[in-house]
Chain A
Amino acid sequence: MNRLYVYIGMATIFLINVAVFGFLFANQSQSIPSGLQSFNNESVVPNFTNQIYADFSLTMEKPMDVTKTNEFIYVSDTNNQRVQVFDLTGTPLFVFGEKGNGPGQFNFPYGIAGDNKGQVYVADMYNGVISIHDAKGKFIKYFAQQMSKDKKMKSPAGLRIIQDLVYVTDIQANKVFVFDLSGKLMLEIGKNGDGPGQFIAPNAVTADAEGNIYVVDTGNQRVQKFNSKGKFLKMFNGSPSGDGESVFVNPRGIGISSRGTIYVVSNLTHLIHGFDQEGQQVNQFGGIGQEAGQLYLPNGLFIDDKDNIYVTDTLNQRVSVFK
């Protein structure tokens, strides 16, 4: 027996192994209860994990939105006209801002988002401006100030920074603006109305990995999806057709999980609804109450890169976290 036969024999046995066990693996994989699969299953309802409360002496009044950067969790403490800052475990650290319409002051701090430099952007719906602060809350400058001055941007509400693009909803203008980080207007979507591509009081916006834009069209009780160029793609509201009777009452915050599930807050029903990419509802959670996992007039929603879902729970004066 020479060396060649040995090699051929080994190769043959190897290939048989690959074929046999490959076959077994491929056929068994369906039933293997891998964690990844349950994670991927859209219908799995996110579970409540914890709550974030402000310091006792600095209780939040009507927290409208929340965001998380690499360093901190920021919550717009709207009726106190300030921003609350927490560490990543939810321990309150400090606050910034006061009532007024000057630099570093707020009248209705609403949408809040962080950029890749650790700066935090705050949309003030009453003052009609978006301000940029450093990670510690120090006022740096206004974002896209010309838009505010020209009254082109009147009442910025929803605010997200995704892949270096700044997405803003304007409630009174009934528009969504997309800027680059320098404040240059890249895209403008919408006008007043209830048709496709039209909005009534859009309160929140987000974008997926491909740059598709999702707008919560609050007054029309629906979510509208646009491509990155602003072309209308579809709308959904929890009804089978997407424009039947809406499941939303006063829809607010929106976020997309890593799996692509779109979560939308329905404020007056105190629920979070999850939707698949087709806009069909796959789950819902929350419900009115004060207990853990329950919500009372929830508003803002932010999903971090670990798929933690942060929801501002306005009447309970806290942020509830689900995963």
Chain B
Amino acid sequence: MKKVSLSFLFTFLLLGILATSTFAAPTVVDPDPPGEEHNPEILPADGVGNLNPNANGISADAINQDENFDNVIKSVGMYGGDQKTHGQYKNNTNSCASCHQTHTSKADSLLFADSTFQTCSACHDGTLGFYNVFETGAAYLNGPSTAGTFGGSHANNMSVHAVDGSVAVKAAPGGNKNGTGTWAAEFNCASCHAPHGSYSDRLLHYNPNGMGQKTPAEGGLKADDVPVVDFANKGGAGSGLQGVRGTKAEHGLTDAAYDSIPADAVVIMIYENGKKTTNPWLYGYPVRGSSGNNHYYDSRLFTADPATILNANGTYPSSKADQVIDHYDYENGKGIISLKYDKGLVYGKTDEAKALLNAATFAEISRAYSVKLDLKAVAGAPSVVTEHNVSALWGSGGAGVQMSQFCSSCHTDYMKAGSNGGVTSSHGNYNGENYYGHTTTSSSYTCLRCHYAHGTDAEIMVDAQSRTVFDLQEEGMSAADALAYMKDPNPSSALKKFTGMSGCWACHNSSKATTLKNTNRDADHPDGMIDDPSTKTVTQPVKGTITFSPQVNFRSAPNMSASVITTIPVNTVVDIYDESDANFYYIKYNNDFGYVAKHAITKN
């Protein structure tokens, strides 16, 4: 019985153990002990991730080549067409949420925050494989970009447009350093580039520094209360800005883009010194009225002197509405006047519309900037990658003056025909005083002749002989010496393409503006103008490895009796600069140039 009871005892014991283990509270393995001790758990509000559940692609869509226009809201390509946009926006787009928050934004314009530079450089740092604005040295010179680099080094005396938000627009040399409004705004990528769309290539801004809405006296493009005259009475040189009323034929509007305008329509355009301008007109309302016609629109005409119509803030009382031709009279405002913002004109087709335009006596038109660079696709690159010939900017008929006009929206005093007789500064360095400057209104001396748009660095500058640091190395200079030679000696390298003041020679080697003609012109630039550095390509030396053991003689000349500079040990990698000799390579080793027998080197 003892054994039996013992057995039962063990049986029940076993039963108990199994039962206990089965019903025991399961061990909860908490993978993430929340909120304990040193690492308090902080949960972002539930659904925070849903605030911007992203978008369709920005870059990919721009790259996809099989899209047809019906599937996109705005332009397909970055070149061709009038209006450019940053990538494409499909009909079910959510891309806006990349930068904007509909209801809960921290910054104005519904932007997430002021982080333009970081947002742009999230892709434009090379991580998308193109349009790398930090590319410098050989990669820059060989690439399609012509704007210079933001990626220089202080050691090479870099200078850049400080687009990281650290300065205000008024910091621009030649600008209004005491300015308010747009002058006081943060300077960043979006000061010059308009991501939503632009009339210019490279998405250059249509209204930089608000200058489309400022008068010429303030440095802007606005035709401010200028008279509207019939074509026959239009002024000539010195007449400044005028509204000119004529027919399509009188304005010379023969392009297919104007086909929708009837031949007998009354067309009003803005002329400058007797010449037609095609700057697009700005749309919008700088002052928003409380009701109806109290809005102040950017592009409007008057049938009486605006001084007798307008309120102090630019709006007008409803009783004067019939003396103002503005948004409410345009077709998209359900009016009778036709308007082409992008072509910079209004026209009337019906008798009623013609009569209204014929009654117009004054115009107040804010005008957009437009810079056409004649972009071309780059072979072998994604379709959005384009290039243009910078040198063409200073040829006759090039876009150089448009470009200078763009730059001088902030560097206002620099856009003057000032070298001959001087001009009066509108604010800038010599506020109200007379000063002299290069004539940037002439296509030969446009800003981009001497300056990069983004920034510079010794690695992408050239000297008066149009040599880069890479050319100098090929001529035998060491890399360190070449950089020291090319490093601009001034406190700031001022975004220049040429080191020091060697840029003067880029044009003045033909001795312009003096009575002594320079007949000793350099053979490399016989027409007296050095090409833009962007035309340079850099050939990197071929690498080779010494295979001759234990070492090989490094000689001063390509023959076996020449003096030995030093010896080079086996497996050393050297740069081969010239292979033309039958038996010797011309190589660089330890910053010395010399010759090594071909049989002692294997090219890598």
* Partner-B contacts on A (CB < 8 A): 1, 3, 6, 9-10, 13-14, 17-18, 21, 24-25, 32-36, 38-39, 46-50, 62, 99, 107-108, 110, 125-126, 146, 149-150, 155, 157, 171-172, 174, 192, 194, 200-201, 203, 218-221, 245-250, 252, 266-271, 284-289, 291-294, 296-297, 299, 307, 314-315, 323
Contacts and interface: CB of A to CB of B under 8 A. Distances in A.
Interface in B1-54: 3-4, 7, 10-11, 14-15, 18-19, 22, 26-32, 34, 39, 41-44, 48-49, 51-54
Interface in B76-106: 90, 92, 94-95, 97-98
Given A146-B604, A288-B51, A245 B44 contact: no
Contacts of A267: 122
A35 B34 contact: no
Contacts of A99: 153, 155
A224 to B, nearest CB: 13
A172 B129 contact: yes
B127 interface: yes
Contact of B60 (A38, A46, A194): A194
21 contacts: A14-B11, A21-B22, A34-B29, A35-B31, A48-B44, A108-B125, A110-B127, A126-B139, A157-B127, A194-B60, A200-B129, A201-B128, A246-B57, A249-B57, A249-B58, A268-B58, A269-B54, A287-B52, A291-B44, A293-B43, A315-B115
B122 A268 contact: yes
Contacts of B56: 221, 245-246
B179 interface: no
B129 A155 contact: yes
Contacts of A3: 3
Contacts of B115: 296-297, 315
Contacts of A299: 122
Given A6-B7, A38-B31, A49-B32, A297 B119 contact: yes
Contacts of B190: none
Contacts of A149: 543, 604
A194 B126 contact: no
B604 A150 contact: yes
Contact of B18 (A17, A245, A269): A17
B39 A49 contact: yes
A32 B29 CA distance: 12
Given A10-B7, A36-B29, A245 B92 contact: yes
B64 interface: yes
A121 to B, nearest CB: 19
A111 B502 CA distance: 41
B123 interface: yes
Contacts of A194: 60, 63-64
B303 interface: no
A250 B58 contact: yes
B492 interface: no
Given A9-B7, A50-B39, A315-B118, 17 more contacts: A18-B18, A21-B19, A21-B22, A32-B26, A35-B27, A35-B31, A39-B29, A155-B126, A171-B128, A201-B59, A245-B94, A248-B57, A249-B54, A249-B58, A291-B42, A296-B118, A315-B115
Contacts of A46: 32
Contacts of A307: 31
A296 B128 CA distance: 19
B382 interface: yes
Contact of A14 (B14, B51, B94): B14
A115 to B, nearest CB: 24
Contacts of A192: 382
B112 interface: yes
A36 B52 CA distance: 32
B253 interface: no
B359 interface: no
B41 A125 contact: no
A269 B32 CA distance: 26
Contacts of A289: 44, 48
Given A10-B10, A33-B26, A171 B543 contact: no
B44 A285 contact: yes
A131 to B, nearest CB: 16
B129 A25 contact: no
B32 A25 contact: no
